[in-house]
Amino acid sequence: MHYDVIVIGAGSMGMAAGYFLAKSGKKTLLLDSFSPPHNKGSHHGETRIIRHAYGEGGEYVPLALQAQKLWNDLEEMTGISLFSATGVLNVGHEKTDFIQNIISSSKTYSLPLETLASPEVNKRWPGITIPAKYIGCFEPASGILKCESCIRAYRTLAEQHGATLLMDSKVNELSVHDQRVTVKTEAQTFSSDALVISAGAWSRDLFSMLGLNLPLNPVRKTFAWFDAGENLYNHTNFPAFTFATSQGFYYGFPSIDGSGLKVGRHDGGQSIDPDKSIPEFGQLDEDRTDLRNFLNHYMPSVKKLKYGKTCMYTLTPDEDFIIDLHPVYSNVAIAAGFSGHGFKFSSAVGQILSELISSGKTEQNIAPFSLDRFN
Ligand SMILES: Cc1cc2nc3c(=O)[nH]c(=O)nc-3n(C[C@H](O)[C@H](O)[C@H](O)COP(=O)(O)OP(=O)(O)OC[C@H]3O[C@@H](n4cnc5c(N)ncnc54)[C@H](O)[C@@H]3O)c2cc1C
């Protein structure tokens, strides 16, 4: 069967791309090893933070704002609640790059931001205790995305616009000859004029089939929910948060509908092969001690672990994304290496991938995410 475009990997980025491609009139096939949303890649665990004033660098802000607009559009189109404006509190030493980038990008892009000294943070959110050396940067307009619901919403719309979804269909072989793409799963062979590769932690092997050896490092990550007093940690009175501390970089979510407080550690983790079985949460000593250590310091009233999970990051050496056209095959767009902070952008990345396939260019500035930087 021949398609205009095949998307390999219909997860966070791929499902959004599938929607935008199908909407633009392309005959689109989405292939996935599982049936997204699922709990085997990088997009499960109920919630993802969306921040606008961006600690990783001001170059991300236009992309974050476009992504937020597209999430709002998606909510409107489907009538499903996907975003909750809890605000995001970023805590750290004023001199860290992360905090400095937040302050400067809020000024550059006129984003609402409240900068609070530590006593003000402790007073406003009594569930938090931070030392005098840290400040809080509170973004009132940022918040939380329901990640699986976002993917489900794009999936429904992609199908409504005529995309074909073939789930539980892992791509094993891939080639491009004379601008014609051939893709093979266990059971079938497909061809297309163009290709999107958005295969998350499994991307490296697929890229190598097209002659690209990219420095992508899949990493095991853990996160967990804790029993927490609803009077202190409920999402109606407690924000999502990031903490750049001297013990590590942590993030988390308020208790939503009694779920408990969710906490994870952003730095660290163990390099893994995504095709092999990954130790479950709690099998490594540090799974519990890392999070306990954070809570003891900064949210000491949170005591009891409910349960934890594992997930995967795909790290690039600089932790910036890869969004580009293949250097040899201009009909192949790639999106990978989202380094543990990509979900919030997936609506905008899907739109960019569709634009790259349709016209070879996009209005967004994707220069910081180019393949050139690895040369
Ligand atoms: C614990 C955790 C917390 C995070 N928190 C945040 C956050 O708060 N905010 C934020 O913005 N980001 C966050 N992220 C990062 C974000 O979730 C990821 O960057 C994003 O989900 C990556 O999207 P992806 O499309 O690359 O991968 P995925 O969503 O995993 O999609 C890849 C898809 O490709 C499919 N696939 C792979 N190989 C093949 C093949 N050969 N054939 C067919 N299909 C294939 C997979 O089955 C999968 O469905 C977090 C990640 C984790 C793990």
Q: How far out from the chain centre does Cα 194 lie?
A: 25
In this predicted model, what pLDDT tens digit does every residue of 134-150 receive, in sequence order?
Answer: 999 999 999 999 999 99
C-alpha 200 to ligand 1 mean position (Å) = 5
C-alpha 326 to ligand 1 mean position (Å) = 20
Give just the sign of the alpha carbon dihedral 238, 150, 318, 55: negative
In this predicted model, what pLDDT tens digit does every residue of 322-372 receive, in sequence order?
Answer: 999 999 999 999 999 999 999 999 999 999 999 999 999 999 999 999 999
Q: CB under 8 Å to 237, separation ≥6 — which residues?
A: 125, 231, 254
The C-alpha atoms of residue 331 and residue 348 are separated, in whole angstroms, by 20
Q: Does residue 69 have a pLDDT over 90?
A: yes
Q: How confident is the model at residue 50 (pLDDT cuts 50, 70, 90)?
A: very high
In this predicted model, what pLDDT tens digit does every residue of 2-44 receive, in sequence order?
Answer: 999 999 999 999 999 999 999 999 999 999 999 999 999 999 9
Query: Looking at the whole model, is its pTM more than 0.95?
Result: yes
- In 3-state terms, what secondary structure has residue 335? strand
Q: Are strands 28-31 and 164-166 parallel, antiparallel or unpaired?
A: parallel
In this predicted model, what pLDDT tens digit does every residue of 245-289 receive, in sequence order?
Answer: 999 999 999 999 999 999 999 999 999 999 999 999 999 999 999
Q: Does residue 47 have a pLDDT over 90?
A: yes
Ligand 1: does its nearest atom lie under 6 Å from the Cβ of 68? no
Ligand 1: does its nearest atom lie under 6 Å from the Cβ of 41? yes
265 is catalytic: no
Ligand 1: does its nearest atom lie under 6 Å from the Cβ of 218? no
Q: Which of 317, 333, 319, 321 is nearest to 367 (CA)?
A: 321
Measured by CA distance, the residue closest to atom 51 of ligand 1 is 340
- In 3-state terms, what secondary structure has residue 132? coil
C-alpha 344 to ligand 1 mean position (Å) = 11
The C-alpha atoms of residue 261 and residue 311 are separated, in whole angstroms, by 18
Which CA distances in Å does 356 have to 6, 182, 345, 364, 375?
14, 19, 16, 11, 22
Ligand 1: does its nearest atom lie under 6 Å from the Cβ of 199? yes
pLDDT at 273: 97
Q: Which of 288, 263, 286, 248 is nearest to 127 (CA)?
A: 263
The C-alpha atoms of residue 62 and residue 42 are separated, in whole angstroms, by 24
